[in-house]
Structure 1
Amino acid sequence: MSETPDPAQPRRLGVALIGYAFMGKAHSQGWRNARSFFDPAVVPELRVVCGRDAEAAGDLARRFGWESVETDWRAAIAREDVDIVDICTPGDTHAEIALAALAAGKHVLCEKPLANSVDEAETMADAADQAGAHGIRSMVGFTYRRVPAIALARQLVADGRIGEIRHVRAQYLQDWLVDPESPLTWRLQKERAGSGALGDIGAHIIDLTQFVTGDLVAGVSALTETFVKERPLADSSSGLAATTGTGTGPVTVDDAAVFIGRFARGAVASFEATRFATGRKNSIRLEFNGTRGTIAFDFEDMNVLEIYEADADQPGFRRIIVTEADHPYVGAWWPPGHGLGYEHGFTHQAADFLSAIAEGRDPEPSFADGLAIQRVLDAVETSAANGATWTPIEPVPVS
Structure 2
Amino acid sequence: MTQHLSAAHTATPTTRPTGTLGVAMVGHSFMGAAHSHAWRSAGRFFDLPVSPRMVAVCGRDPDRTAAAAERFGWDSAETDWRALLRRDDVDLVDICTPGDTHAEIAVAALAAGKHVLCEKPLANSLDEARRMSAAADEARARGVHAMVGFNYRRVPALTLARKLVSEGRIGELRHVRAMYLQDWLSDADSPMTWRLRREQAGSGALGDIGAHVVDAAQFVTGQGIEGVSALTETFVRQRRSGTGGTEPVTVDDCAVFTARFSGGAVGSFEATRYALGRKNAMRLELNGSRGSLSFDLESMNELWFHDATEDPDTAGFRRIVVTEPTHPYLGAWWPPGHLLGYEHTFTHEVVDLVTALATDTPPEPGFGDGLRVQGVLEAVQHSAAADSAFVRV
Residue 302 of structure 1 corresponds to: 300
Deviation at 1:185, TM superposition (A): 1.0
Distance in 1 separating the partners of 2:85 and 2:235: 40
Distance 1:201 1:375 in 2: 15
CA drift of 1:4 comes to 5.4
1:360 aligns with 2:352: no
- The letter for the 2-side match of 1:87 is I
**Structure 1 residue 41 corresponds to structure 2 residue 39:** no
C-alpha RMSD of matched pairs (Å)? 1.3
Displacement of 1:169 in angstroms is: 0.1
- The answer to whether the 8 A contact 2:324-2:337 is kept is yes
Q: Give the match's secondary structure for 2:21.
A: strand
> 1:330 is matched with which residue?
330
Q: Which of residues 78, 86, 89 in structure 1 aligns to 2:94?
A: 86
Q: Indicate conservation of the 8 Å contact 1:227/1:255, yes or no.
A: yes
Q: Deviation string for 1:173-217 (max 9, x for gaps)?
A: 000111111111110000000000000000000000000000000
Structure 1 residue 22 displacement after superposition: 0.1
Q: Does 1:153 align with 2:153?
A: no
SS of 1:261's equivalent in the other structure is strand
Q: Is the 8 A contact 1:306 1:318 kept in 2?
A: yes
Please state whether the residue corresponding to 2:247 is helix, strand or coil. strand
Deviations 1:192-243 (A, max 9, x none): 0000000000000000000000000000000000000000003xxxxxxxxx
Residue 9 (structure 2) aligns with: none
Cα deviation for residue 3 of structure 1 reads 4.1
Q: Secondary structure at the match of 1:116?
A: coil
User: Are positions 1:129 and 2:127 aligned together?
Assistant: no
Maintained 8 Å contact 2:181/2:273:
yes
What is the TM-score when the length of structure 1 is the normalising length?
A: 0.94
Q: CA deviation at 1:163?
A: 0.4
1:29 aligns with 2:37: yes
Output aligned runs, 1:1-399, within 5 Å. 3=4, 10-234=18-242, 244-245=243-244, 247-313=245-311, 314-393=314-393
Code of the residue aligned with 2:142 in structure 1: it is: H
Unaligned runs of 5+ in 2: 7-14
Distance 1:171 1:368 in 2: 23
Letter in 2 for 1:367: F
Q: Is the 8 A contact 1:147 1:345 kept in 2?
A: yes
User: Cα offset for 1:78?
Assistant: 1.5
Q: 1:332 is matched by which residue type in structure 2?
A: A
Q: Percent identity?
A: 63
Instruction: Please give the TM-score of this superposition, normalised by the length of structure 2.
Output: 0.95
Equivalent residues of 2:5, 2:21 under 8 A apart: no
Name the CA distance, whole Å, in 2 between partners of 1:141 and 1:365: 8
Aligned-partner Cα distance in 1 for 2:315–2:369: 37
In 2, distance between residues paired with 1:291 and 1:76? 52
Segments of structure 1 that go 5 or more residues without pairing to the other structure are 235-243, 394-399
* Other structure's SS at 1:219 match: strand
- 1:397 corresponds in structure 2 to none
The whole-number CA distance in structure 2 between the counterparts of 1:104 and 1:37 is: 31
User: SS of the residue aligned with 1:343?
Assistant: helix
In 2, Cα distance between equivalents of 1:381 and 1:114: 16
Post-superposition shift, 1:312? 2.2
Give the Å deviation of 1:279: 1.0
The alpha carbon displacement at 1:389 in A equals 0.2
2:153, 2:219 within 8 Å by CA — same for their partners in 1?
yes
Partner deviation per Cα, 1:325-372 (whole Å, 9 max, x = no partner)? 000001110000000000000100011100000011011100000000
Distance 2:226 2:325 in 1: 36
CA contact (8 A) 2:5 2:91 kept: no
- Residue by residue over 1:128-179, the C-alpha shift from the partner in whole angstroms, topping out at 9 and shown as x without a partner, is 0111111111100000010000000000000100001100000100001111
**Matches of 2:328 and 2:67 in 1, distance apart?**
34
Q: Distance in 1 between matches of 2:165 and 2:323?
A: 19
- CA shift at 1:13, angstroms? 1.1
Counterpart secondary structure, 2:97: coil
SS at match of 1:352: helix
1:16 and 1:77 in contact (8 A); partners too:
no
Displacement after TM superposition at 1:10 (Å): 4.5
Amino acid at match of 1:44: P
